[in-house]
Amino acid sequence: MSEQYSLFVFLGNPGRQYENTRHNAAWLLLDLLDGHLSLDWSLKFKGRYAKKQIPGTPPEFLYRPHTFMNKSGEGSGEIARFFSVPAERILVFHDELDLTPGEWKISRGGGTKGHNGLRSMKQHLGSNDFSRCAIGIGRPPHSGFAVNKWVLSAFDPGDRADLGRAFDGILSEVWGL
């Protein structure tokens, strides 16, 4: 499936306090992927990017914005323009409240569902025609638990195991690993 995409963007928040939080599910996936691919990273475009090239195929770029989630589209737009990647060839990985841990899905276009990272992507790409890989983090356990606190909280051990299953599925489906 990766051959239909040229740019993979992994949304998250920088800083040690956010490393293992639900909002950083995509960065956790990227860390796992990097372990499989041993990529060489460069600092540019307000983040880190790596080029993956298999002889005889177009290059693929993996990008981790180093801005906070609500500004992640800034560098993403820069790298997309620099490498002439249209929105249709971008796959954005992000956390998703409406999927339980262990679930994931890929879709193209659609709304941002209140996700500030996706809103920023849409704004800075000038299009909503990019694909999204939603990684389930589930909803807070009760209505009194604020969503902003939930996404910035750490996974419990059971959810972390479920997340690992989702990551295995994504790595297999997208990269054949």
The 7-10 sheet, strands edge to edge: 41-44, 47-52, 60-65, 7-10, 90-96, 131-136, 104-108
**Residue 36 is a catalytic residue:** no
Rg (CA), the chain: 15
Q: 121 near 73, Cβ under 8 Å?
A: yes
CA distance 5 to 28: 20
CA distance 131 to 93: 9
* Three-class SS state of 1: coil
Catalytic residue among 23, 94, 115, 124: 23
Q: List active site positions.
A: 23
